[in-house]
Amino acid sequence: MADIHVRVQHDDFSLDAELARLADPLRRCGAIASFVGQVRNDPAGNHALTALTLEHYPGMTERSLHALASDAAVRFALDAVVIIHRIGTLQPGERIVLALTAAAHRKAALHAVDYLMDHLKSTVPFWKQEHHGAQHRWVDAKHADDAALQQWQAHDAAR
């Protein structure tokens, strides 16, 4: 059984602290890979991004993250998976998300991080709102043509 750890929190996280927390008593892990996402200053026209607010669906978020981590652990034979996602209002440069994996070998650990982030971005209920000064704008999903949408469209076409 992989060591699975997911958290949704307002507070910042520390990669060092999460690395230190990884238990590997049998010394099986030859590889640890991580991704840290942070708030990028994406200007809207000539208005700088002043903040980003992250909202989520309490309950479903934690459930989805745990399911995703468990799925990745089996798929890539991971020994440990950590996903931490922040919520609330964050400033440019602040950390948003951590995906951390431990495996016997490098490629499994690296591919698993990519897999976690791709799926997190399309299946876990978080939403970003950009603040450009007094203007607030919900961020549109970048992959609106994903499978779930096609299912809706197929249903609508059949009506």
Strand arrangement of the beta sheet that strand 3-9 belongs to:
3-9, 80-86, 95-103, 31-38
Least distance in angstroms from the C-beta of 105 to another protein:
25
Least distance in angstroms from the C-beta of 63 to another protein:
6
126 φ/ψ angles, rounded to the nearest 5 degrees = -120, 150
Least distance in angstroms from the C-beta of 30 to another protein:
27
28 membership: H or E segment, kind and range: none
Nearer to another protein, 23 or 141 (CB): 141
Q: Quote the DSSP letter at residue 141.
A: P
Helix axes 60-75, 106-123, angle to 10 degrees: 150
Residue from 9, 91, 135, 151 binding another protein (CB under 8 A): 151
Nearer to another protein, 7 or 121 (CB): 121
Q: Quote the DSSP letter at residue 49.
A: P
Binding mask 76-105 for another protein (x = CB under 8 A): ---------x----------xx--------
Q: Are strands 88-90 and 95-103 parallel, antiparallel or unpaired?
A: unpaired
| Residue 125 engages another protein in binding (rule: CB under 8 A) | yes
| Residue 11 engages another protein in binding (rule: CB under 8 A) | no
| Residue 131 engages another protein in binding (rule: CB under 8 A) | no
